[in-house]
Amino acid sequence: MKKNEGNTDRILRVILGIALLVIGFAVMGGTAGVIVGLVGLVPLLTGLAGSCPVYSLLGLSSTKAAS
């Protein structure tokens, strides 16, 4: 997959993903907590991979354009 996330975007996604995982599994618990935790996997994994499928579908990119 082509990288379509800039560094700031990736960092924010990883932080958001970790926060949702912690909130979902450690703070909330129950079915709602599991759902929030699983939703947290999406930004975490896309941030780590550097590629977002939704960005690809929409033709977006947060990377800096090469000069």
Sign of the C-alpha dihedral, residues 3, 14, 41, 61?
negative
Q: Are 60 and 1 in contact (CB under 8 A)?
A: no
Indicate whether 58 belongs to any domain.
no
Indicate whether 66 belongs to any domain.
no
Question: What is the reported pLDDT for 1?
Answer: 78
Indicate whether 36 belongs to any domain.
yes
**Phi first, then psi: what are they for 12, rounded to 5°?**
-65, -40
CA-to-CA separations, 19 to 26, 39, 41, in angstroms, rounded: 10, 11, 10
Portion of the chain with pLDDT greater than 70, in percent: 96
CA distance 47 to 50: 5
pLDDT in tens, 16-44: 999 999 999 999 989 999 999 999 999 99
Domain interval for residue 36 = 7-53
Indicate whether 59 belongs to any domain.
no
The number of distinct structural domains making up the chain is 1
